[in-house]
Amino acid sequence: MSGYVVTILITIAIYAILAHSLNIITGHAGQISLGHAAFFGIGAYTAALFYTKAGLSFWIDVPLAALVAGVVGAVLGIPCLRVRDDFLAITTMGIGFVVEAVFLYIPFFGGAMGIGGIDLPMWAGREMTKSEYLILILVVLGTLYALDYILGRSWIGLAWSSIREDEQAASALGVDIVRFKVMAFILGSALAGLAGAFYAHFLTFIMPYNFGFGQSIMILCMVVFGGIGTRWGPIVGALLLGLLPEISRPIMEYRTLLYGLLLVAMMRFQPSGLLGADSFLVVYFTKGLNRIRGGEVKA
Amino acid sequence: MTLLQVISLSKDFAGLHALESVSFSAERGKILGIIGPNGAGKTTLFNIISGIYLPTAGEILFQGKKILRMKAHRISHLGIGRTFQIVRPLNNLDVETNVLVAYGHRIYPSLWKSVRACRQREALQEVRGIMERTGLKAYSGTLAGNLPLGFKKRLEIARALALQPKLLLLDEPSGGLRYEESFQLMELIRMLRDQGIGILLIEHNMQVVMDLCERIVVLDHGIKIAEGVPEEIRSNPQVIEAYLGRETQHA
* Same domain flag for A183 and A127: yes
CATH number of the domain bearing residue A49: 1.10.3470
CB–CB of B72/B52 below 8 Å?
yes
pLDDT for A294 equals 66
Residues 6+ apart with CB under 8 A from B73: A171, A172, A173, A174, A175, A176, A177, B51, B105, B108
Interface contact A173-B76, CB threshold 8 A? yes
Distance between CA B177 and CA A8 in Å, rounded? 59
Q: What angle do CA A135, A137, A141 make, to 5 degrees?
A: 115
Q: Which of residues 62-121 of B touch A (CB under 8 A)?
A: 71-73, 76-77, 81-82, 84, 88-93, 97, 100-102, 104-109, 113-119
Report, in angstroms and rounded to the nearest whole number, the Rg of chain A calculated over CA atoms: 20
- According to DSSP, residue B172 is labeled S
| CA-to-CA separations, B225 to A231, B19, B212, in angstroms, rounded | 56, 12, 20
| Nearest to A175, CA basis, from A189, A185, A190, A160 | A160
Predicted confidence band of residue A299 (pLDDT cuts 50, 70, 90): very low
Taking CB atoms and an 8 Å limit, are B88 and A169 in contact across chains? Answer: yes
Best of B70, B78, B87, B88 to substitute, by most chain A Cβ atoms within 10 angstroms, is: B88
Write b or e for each residue in A23-43: b if 16 or more Cβ atoms lie within 10 A of its Cβ, otherwise e: bbbbbbbbbbbbbbbbbbbbb
Measure in Å the smallest separation between the Cα of A296 and chain B Cα atoms. 19
- Indicate whether B74 pLDDT > 90: yes
Q: Which of A154, A162, A172 sits opposite B117 (nearest CB)?
A: A154
Whether B95 shows a pLDDT value over 80: the answer reads yes
In tens, the pLDDT along B119-156 reads 999 999 999 999 999 999 999 999 999 999 889 999 99
Mean local confidence (pLDDT), B104-116: 94
Neighbours of B175 (CB within 10 A): 16
Whether A34 shows a pLDDT value over 90: the answer reads yes
d(Cα A158, Cα A163) in Å, to the nearest integer? 9
Spell out which residues of chain B touch residue A148, defining contact as CB-CB under 8 Å.
none
Asked whether residue A148 falls in the same domain as residue A292, the answer is no
| C-alpha–C-alpha distance, residues A189 and A224, integer Å | 18
Residue B32 has pLDDT above 80, yes or no: yes
d(CA B218, CA B33): 8
* Cβ proximity of B105 and B77 under 8 Å: yes
The least confident of A91-95, A122-126, B116-120 is A122-126
Which run of H or E residues covers position A122? strand A122-123
CB contact under 8 A, A162 and B90: yes
Q: Give residue A298's pLDDT.
A: 45
A-B CB pairs within 8 A amount to 98
Query: Range of A102's domain?
Result: 3-247
- Give rounded-to-5 percent helix, strand, coil for chain A: 75, 5, 20
Contacts of A151 in chain B (CB under 8 A): 115
* Confidence at residue A76, expressed as pLDDT on a 0 to 100 scale: 87
Q: What is the pLDDT of residues B159-188, one digit of tens each?
A: 999 999 999 999 998 888 888 888 888 899
Mean pLDDT, chain A, integer: 90
pLDDT digits (tens, 9 = 90+) for A181-217: 999 999 999 999 999 999 999 999 999 999 999 899 9
- In angstroms, the CA B160 to CA B101 distance is 10
A90 vs A266 pLDDT, higher one: A90
Do A227 and A110 have their domain in common? yes
A chain contacts of residue B106, beta-carbon cutoff 8 Å: 174
- Are residue A299 and residue A239 in the same domain, yes or no? no
Amino acid, single-letter form, for residue B63: Q
Question: What gap in Å lies between CA B134 and CA B128, rounded to an integer?
Answer: 10
| Phi and psi torsions of B5, nearest 5° | -120, 125
β strands within chain B, DSSP E: 2-13, 16-27, 31-35, 57-62, 65-66, 80-82, 167-171, 198-202, 215-220, 223-228
A147 and A20 in one domain?
A: yes
Contact list in B for residue A157 (CB cut-off 8 A) is 118
Question: How does pLDDT run across A237-247, given as a tens digit for each residue?
Answer: 999 888 888 88
Angstrom distance (rounded) from CA A129 to CA B46: 64
Which of A151, A158, A165 is opposite residue B91, by nearest beta carbon?
A: A165
My answer on whether A141 and A163 are in the same domain is yes
Return the axis-axis angle of helices A37-52 and A177-203, rounded to nearest 10°: 50
pLDDT number for residue A297: 45
Identify whether residues A52 and A154 lie together within a single domain.
yes
Q: Are residue A72 and residue A34 in the same domain, yes or no?
A: yes
- Highest-pLDDT range among A90-94, A190-194, B223-227: A190-194
Structural domains present in chain B: 2-244 (3.40.50.300)
Q: What is the mean pLDDT of chain B?
A: 91
- Chain B environment of A172 (Cβ under 8 Å): 50, 52, 72-73, 76, 81-82, 84
Beta carbons of B97 and A158 less than 8 Å apart: yes
- pTM over the 0.90 mark: no
Residue A263 carries which side chain, given as an amino acid letter?
A: L
Of the listed ranges A65-69, A119-123, A195-199, the one predicted with least confidence: A119-123
Closest CA to A194 of A228, A147, A231, A155: A147
Residues A281 and A174 in one domain: no
Q: How many domains does chain A have?
A: 2
Closest to B99 in 3D by CA, of B82, B72, B74, B124: B124
Read off the pLDDT of residues B2-14 as tens digits, 9 standing for 90 and up: 899 999 999 999 8
With cut-offs at 50, 70 and 90, classify the pLDDT of residue A125. Answer: confident
Query: pLDDT value at position A258?
Result: 80
Q: Are residues A209 and A286 in the same domain?
A: no
Alpha-carbon span B144 to A165, nearest angstrom: 11
Contact: B73, A169; criterion CB under 8 Å: no
Higher pLDDT, B144 or A289: B144
> Region B51-67: what's the mean pLDDT?
93
- How would residue A259 be classed by pLDDT, with cut points 50, 70 and 90? confident
β-pair partners for B167: B80, B198
* Contacts with A, B 46-65, CB within 8 Å: 50-52
Please indicate, yes or no, whether residues A240 and A263 belong to a single structural domain of this protein.
no
Among B86, B105, B114, which would you mutate to test the A interface (most chain A Cβ atoms within 10 Å of its Cβ)?
B114
| Helices A155-165 & B95-103 angle (0-180, nearest 10) | 110
Q: Which residues of B touch A175 (CB under 8 A)?
A: 73, 101, 104-105, 108
Amino acid occupying residue A189:
S
Q: How far apart are CA A129 and CA A229, in angstroms?
A: 34
Work out whether the CA dihedral A58, A59, A60, A61 comes out positive or negative.
positive
Percent residues over pLDDT 70 in chain A:
98
Q: Which residues on chain A are in Cβ contact (under 8 Å) with B81?
A: 172
Position B247 scores a pLDDT of 60
- Read off the pLDDT of each residue in A250-277 and give the average, rounded to a whole number: 80
Residue closest to B242 by CA, chosen among B250, B233, B251, B231: B233
* Mean pLDDT across B70-88: 92
Closest residue, chain B, to A173 (C-alpha): B102
Could you tell me if B213 lies within 8 Å of chain A, comparing CB atoms? no
Amino acid type, A280: F
User: Do A275 and A237 belong together in one domain?
Assistant: no
Instruction: Give tens-digit pLDDT for B181-202.
Output: 888 888 999 999 999 999 999 9
> Does residue A107 have a pLDDT over 80?
yes
Cβ–Cβ below 8 Å for B114 and A168: no
